[in-house]
Homo-oligomer: A and B are copies of this chain.
Amino acid sequence: MLACRINGVDSRQLEITDRACQYGDGLFETLAVRHGQVEFLQAHLQRLAEGADRLGIPMPEESRWRDDIRAILVGRQQAVLKLMLSRGSGGRGYLAPDHPVVSRIVMLHPWPVHPPEHVEQGVRVRFCETRLAEQPRLAGIKHLNRLEQILARREWEDETIQEGLMLDTRDRVIEATMSNLFWLKGSTLHTPDLSACGVQGIMRQQIINLAPALGLDVQIDHYSRQALDEADGLFLTNSVIGLWPVQQLEERLFDPIKRIKQIQDKLDAVRLQHAESDF
């Protein structure tokens, strides 16, 4: 970790009584900082506010987040920015205080080094055995209860495999451990419905938004694992990696698809358009 601010003060330590530590009672956002600019800050703050509303955690004023980000980013060209919001300390057991004093945490991490081939040729992906439980009250938001993803990520050690796809308990394909999943079939772009589990990624929404301009229909639905067998090509998205084509899923190899390259190029353009350096 490069730096951390907690409630506007440089600090790397949290009260042990904070409900983030005790119960995972909070939310987070992971943002890309490139060329000294923060990508999709507004969209991330919006999702954080929606998550806070769902959990009943008061959302700090946007200006407080922006002040912290300005302070922590000074001079950085490329990094990963992580925002965390917890309900703070207190409460008897699970019962939260009536007027919580939230913890507003802004962390800066080094930019992860991924080989350029991941973006250009694609990545190797497997299926995970760990299932995502159906929990509509927590679906979509990026909360701090992440044991399912941790168990899924522990399933493989092969460093040539970059991601693992996760099904829910009804055998429907949902997402990957740290990214959302899309696939192309003809001119239709498919991505799973996330109303029962999964995280509504910011990049996922950008892909959904830009698809029509590329002549693609978007279909958001419940899909079995078998639906992927009919796909022309798959790809993964998240806020830091952007878009990774899937080169191999289990034993199946995919040829590069021109349309995925077009989506990638369009996404790159959108990322630049929605990057902020003026807080």
- Please list the residues of chain A having a beta carbon within 8 angstroms of any beta carbon in chain B: 1, 4, 6, 11-25, 28, 55-56, 84, 86, 92-96, 105, 107, 112, 130-131, 133-135, 137-138, 143-154, 169, 177-178, 197
Residues of B within 8 A of A169 (CB): 134-135
Residues A147 and B105 in contact in the complex (CB < 8 Å), given A16-B6, A94-B178: no
> Chain B nearest CB: distance from A128 CB in Å?
11
Residues A14 and B21 in contact in the complex (CB < 8 Å), given A94-B153, A148-B135: yes
Report Cα–Cα, A178/B143, bound state, in Å. 21
Q: Is the CB of B134 within 8 A of A133?
A: yes
Please tell me which one of the listed residues B24, B92, B151 contacts residue A55 in the complex, with CB atoms under 8 A apart: B151
> Chain B nearest CB: distance from A133 CB in Å?
3
Report Cα–Cα, A146/B138, bound state, in Å. 11
**Copies of this chain:** 2
> Chain B nearest CB: distance from A32 CB in Å?
14
Please tell me which one of the listed residues B6, B13, B21 contacts residue A20 in the complex, with CB atoms under 8 A apart: B21
Closest residue of B by beta carbon distance from A95: B153
Q: Is the CB of B133 within 8 A of A22?
A: no
Residues of B within 8 A of A133 (CB): 133-135, 197
Report Cα–Cα, A137/B197, bound state, in Å. 16
Closest residue of B by beta carbon distance from A27: B147
Residues of B within 8 A of A4 (CB): 16
Residues of B within 8 A of A134 (CB): 133-134, 169
Report Cα–Cα, A133/B154, bound state, in Å. 21
Residues A143 and B147 in contact in the complex (CB < 8 Å), given A14-B21, A177-B94: yes
Q: Is the CB of A25 within 8 A of B147?
A: yes
Q: Is the CB of B107 within 8 A of A92?
A: no
Q: Is the CB of A151 within 8 A of B137?
A: yes
Please tell me which one of the listed residues B23, B138, B154, B178 contacts residue A96 in the complex, with CB atoms under 8 A apart: B154
Closest residue of B by beta carbon distance from A139: B133
> Chain B nearest CB: distance from A76 CB in Å?
18
